[in-house]
Homo-oligomer: A and B are copies of this chain.
Amino acid sequence: MNGAESLVHTLLESGVDTCFSNPGTSEMHFVAALDRIPGMRCVLGLFEGVVTGAADGYARMAGKPAATLLHCGPGLANGLANLHNARRANTPIVNIVGDHATYHRPLDAPLTADTEGWARGVSGWVRTAMDVKTVGADAAGAVQAAMTSPGQIATLILPSDTSWNPGGIVAKPLPRVPAPLAAPNQIDEAAAVLRRGGEGILLLLGGKALGEAGLALAHRISAATGCRLMAEGSNARVARGRGRVAVDRVPYVVDTAVKALAGTQQLILAGAKKPVTFFAYPNKPHTSVPEGAELHILARVEQDPVEALARLADALGVPDAAAPDYGPAPEVGRGKLTPESVAATVGALMPEGAVIADESVTYGRGFFPLTRSAAPHDWLNVLGGAIGGGPPMATGAAIGAPGRRVINLQADGSAMYTVQALWTQAREKLDVTTVIFSNRKYQILLGELANVGANPGRTALDMMDIGNPDIDWPKLSASMGVEGATADTAEGFADLLAHSLKRPGPFLIELLV
């Protein structure tokens, strides 16, 4: 058994059975091993950003890591942006990167690069396999590291000779490290704040607290104590829709966020971090939390927030509380395409169990309220702010949640960074509906330019206008095997969305907004 074979066997025994890949020469023995060993689903991406973003979306839905397979140096580099996003989402990924043979590296062949150095910026765990006999053990360690709470990227670098040499040994799965529990004083402090009561108590939820159980517990606490609930600005996965407790998110725009958090005097964090603004701006605050607000950490990001919420609910003795009834699902929108008519249409038509992969950026900032009484669904944000997370995340989510429809709400500018994801959706016949908000500009940057006090002239506008030429989205998706169509009214969108939900496989809808 060679090193690559011991690696594949170990991954499978550790429960990793999906590999998103864009291999190169140094990964050929790994690919050959995949041939000989049944059980690993291999999914090809035509660009590494598709591979890493798909691994992010997959793990969020599957609840376990996928492996990636990337080429050395620049191959990894192309995947870094979506690994950065995955890092911010605390997504477990077993990130396998090939490299030159150990004895070839010193020769500085053209592809030689600082693979390990580039990996460090996104990985909680990095190891270069240096001996064929321990590649299996390294792989088991990578899976364990990836799954260590709250989830992280474990990068295993595989020099080609440790891959091809004979002498590989399959390693047993390592035990999963349970998420640490909140300490008693964390529960006591939050309970004391809530018992004292008064205005301005905000319970901010993040990570696993935004699953159905965490939200239900938070709602019980809120119903009994009167504290506000809110979610972080972007979240890996939020359980939403009928029967679930709806929470607003901390807004992206600084002034809006400051307003949303005004009056907060006690901030209790459950799996969330203290909000900071995405960017600094001249003469604006860099947190939306009012000065003087007191901070209480019920559960740190790596601690189990659901368990902490349960203990807090017990400590407070709060009674059960049913999720609020937010009324019937919205009706499909009519007339012009607006954020409201689009959100209503999505909310009206999405099937039960839908997965929303959201990289709608500016256009989608108000989608949350209008979809809270839709059918039960999961909502995934791109975290980390690296552009182009949406289409790959949708691709991976569809593989991690078979049988559920994925709706990718997608800004046009961002989609262009990783547009190759459409090809993978076509090849794998994934049930993904991509909705492109085709405003033909970097709308967010126009807002940011105003935010920094600049008044754009011709050159600046040209840098933010992605029309001239306009991108023809149905043609672009068709060129990669995904049928698509354009709508410029809410009714037209509703027709296309309903059509896409009835048919298997991917579909793209361009909305001229």
Q: Is residue A183 within 8 Å, beta carbon to beta carbon, of the partner chain?
A: no
Give, as a whole number of angstroms, the nearest-CB distance from A159 to chain B: 9
Q: Is residue A387 within 8 Å, beta carbon to beta carbon, of the partner chain?
A: yes
Residue A28 contacts which of B40, B75, B449 (CB distance < 8 angstroms)? B449
**Identical copies of this chain, number:** 2
Q: Is residue A73 within 8 Å, beta carbon to beta carbon, of the partner chain?
A: yes
Q: Is residue A34 within 8 Å, beta carbon to beta carbon, of the partner chain?
A: yes
Candidate in A31, A32, A120, A416 with the most chain B CB atoms within 10 angstroms:
A31
Q: Mark A15-54, 1 if CB is under 8 A from B, else 0.
A: 0000001011110110110111000101010110100000
Given contacts A280-B104, A469-B426, A472-B478, contact A459 B35 (CB under 8 A): yes
Given contacts A25-B445, A84-B74, contact A419 B417 (CB under 8 A): no
Asked whether A420 lies within 8 Å of B416 as measured between CB atoms, the reply is yes
Given contacts A77-B80, A100-B280, contact A417 B47 (CB under 8 A): yes
User: A24 contacts which chain B residues (CB < 8 A)?
Assistant: 387, 445, 448
Q: Is residue A427 within 8 Å, beta carbon to beta carbon, of the partner chain?
A: yes
Docked complex: A446-481 residues within 8 A CB-CB of B: 448-449, 451-452, 454-460, 462-463, 466, 468-473, 475-476, 478-481
| A-side interface residues, number (CB < 8 Å) | 99
Give, as a whole number of angstroms, the nearest-CB distance from A50 to chain B: 10
Docked complex: A117-141 residues within 8 A CB-CB of B: 117-118, 120-122
Leading 8 A-B pairs by shortest Cβ distance: A469-B481, A74-B386, A32-B454, A476-B479, A104-B280, A74-B81, A101-B280, A77-B80
Between A and B, 25 residue pairs with Cβ closer than 8 Å are A21-B463, A25-B448, A28-B445, A29-B454, A36-B457, A46-B413, A47-B388, A73-B84, A74-B85, A75-B387, A80-B118, A100-B280, A101-B280, A109-B276, A109-B277, A109-B278, A110-B234, A111-B384, A111-B385, A111-B386, A160-B279, A472-B478, A473-B479, A475-B475, A476-B479
Taking Cβ atoms with an 8 Å cutoff, the residues of A that contact B are 21, 23-26, 28-29, 31-32, 34-36, 40, 42, 44, 46-47, 49, 71, 73-75, 77-78, 80-81, 84-85, 88, 100-101, 103-104, 107-111, 113-114, 117-118, 120-122, 160-161, 164, 234, 276-280, 282, 286-287, 383-388, 413, 416-417, 419-420, 423, 426-427, 444-445, 448-449, 451-452, 454-460, 462-463, 466, 468-473, 475-476, 478-481
